[in-house]
Amino acid sequence: MHESNVYVNETQLYLLSYIILRFLFCSIYLLCCLKYTHISIIYNEVSYLENLSNINVIKSLLAKHNFSFSKALGQNFLINPSVCPKIAEMGNARKGFGIIEIGTGVGVLTNELAKRADRVVAVEIDERLLPVLAETLSEYSNVKIINADIMKVDLKKLIADEFSGLEVAVCANLPYYLTSPIIMSLLEQRLPIHSITVMVQKEAGVRLCTGMGARDMGAVTVAVNYFSSPKILFNVSRGSFMPSPNVDSCVVRFDIKDKTPDGVSDEKWFFKVARGAFSQRRKTLVNSVSSALGIPKENAAKAAQAASLLPNVRPEQLSMEQFIVFSEELKKLSLM
């Protein structure tokens, strides 16, 4: 009786071995699956970040972070993979350079800048993008993000603190609502920078890069030509952005001059006169300047005469030299 209790027949032994083997086989299979999934997750993560200008990647990234575009902040993100490498290369992102970027979006241009330049400091106003950037730029130790309004950042200090020993350039796909203020401010501060390479609305690019005396020039044209040699680099279609804007764009570069034109005794006054001159389209120089600056019309007329200008000359007809002489004469008369 006792013997029959411990007795295990051959069939039961086979069954037991089969169960054990099956268990071992399934465990090995499961372990392999887990390892493969892990590898594929890592692989997807890498390729996912390499495709930052891919519309589906941006969409899933933004959905993951619950992000919605702000029209007010000019958020049109680049989705054309050929554009950012070109901006970076033509914008002097290379060894020996530190780059200031304005407005990172998800970091598509920042990535290309960081690959090429020694250091990148990017200023982004929208704090909702910070967790996105922590993900997309995690592999770069040479990138710093500053969450601020570019118009309120002390760029002279930033350059001194962050880019010691490096040449500095600005590269950006600008928020279009701030195009002129940003460019005017970068130029008028006389920052120690080599170039400014920016994506702007196509019409703005034409106006910025036109020479003095052109019909569609504005106050910003005076500043751009005073401080730099401007150039349109290439056009970018509206379909290269998400969401797609109603206008086409272009990339422009301003190479900062070593020496500005002679004869300006007070740059602040000079640009005040330039802004006043273009404040009312289709008005004469004398009328625009006197009403914008609150100067007696006869003083503006005298300054025009001293600069050998006709009384009914329009601001867009002046050369740089004539603008300089006019503003200097106006200053003398305003001090009297």
Q: In this chain, which of 51, 67, 74, 80 binds ligand SAM, going by CB under 6 A?
A: 74
Write down the least CB distance from residue 318 to ligand SAM, Å: 32
Nearest residue to 194 via CA among 91, 85, 86 = 91
Looking at 57, 61, 62, 77, which residue binds ligand SAM (CB under 6 A)? 77
Dihedral in degrees, nearest 10, Cα atoms 69, 71, 74, 77: 30
Closer residue to ligand SAM, CB minimum distance, 132 or 286: 132
Nearest CA to 169 out of 191, 145, 147 is that of 191
240 is an interface residue for ligand SAM by CB under 6 A? no
Question: Least Å distance between CB 245 and ligand SAM?
Answer: 9
Quote the radius of gyration of the chain (alpha carbons, Å). 31
Neighbours of 238 (CB within 10 A): 15
Which residue type, as a one-letter code, is found at position 48? Answer: Y
Q: Which is nearer to ligand SAM, 185 or 305 (CB)?
A: 185
The least CB distance from residue 56 to ligand SAM, in Å, is 15
CA contacts within 13 A on the Cβ side of 118 = 12
Which residue in the set 61, 88, 100, 108 belongs to the binding site for ligand SAM (CB under 6 A)?
A: 108
Of the residues 93, 100, 120, 123, which one makes contact with ligand SAM according to CB under 6 A = 123
Which CB, 132 or 264, lies closer to ligand SAM? Answer: 132
| Least distance CB 91 / ligand SAM (angstroms) | 12
| DSSP strand pairing (119-124 vs 195-201) | unpaired
How many residues bind ligand SAM, per CB under 6 A?
22
Q: In the chain, how long is the greatest CA-to-CA distance? A: 133
Residue 125 binds ligand SAM (CB under 6 A): yes
Q: Strand order in 195-201's β-sheet?
A: 143-147, 119-124, 97-102, 167-173, 195-201, 249-256, 228-236
Alpha carbon distance 261, 263 (integer Å): 7
Nearer to ligand SAM by C-beta: 75 or 290?
75
Q: Which of 57, 61, 75, 249 binds ligand SAM (CB under 6 A)?
A: 75
Options 105, 218, 230, 276; binder of ligand SAM; rule CB under 6 A: 105
Main-chain phi, psi angles of 21, to 5 degrees: -60, -45
Residues 143-162 touching ligand SAM, rule: CB under 6 A, are 149-151
Q: How far is the CB of 271 from ligand SAM (least distance, A)?
A: 21
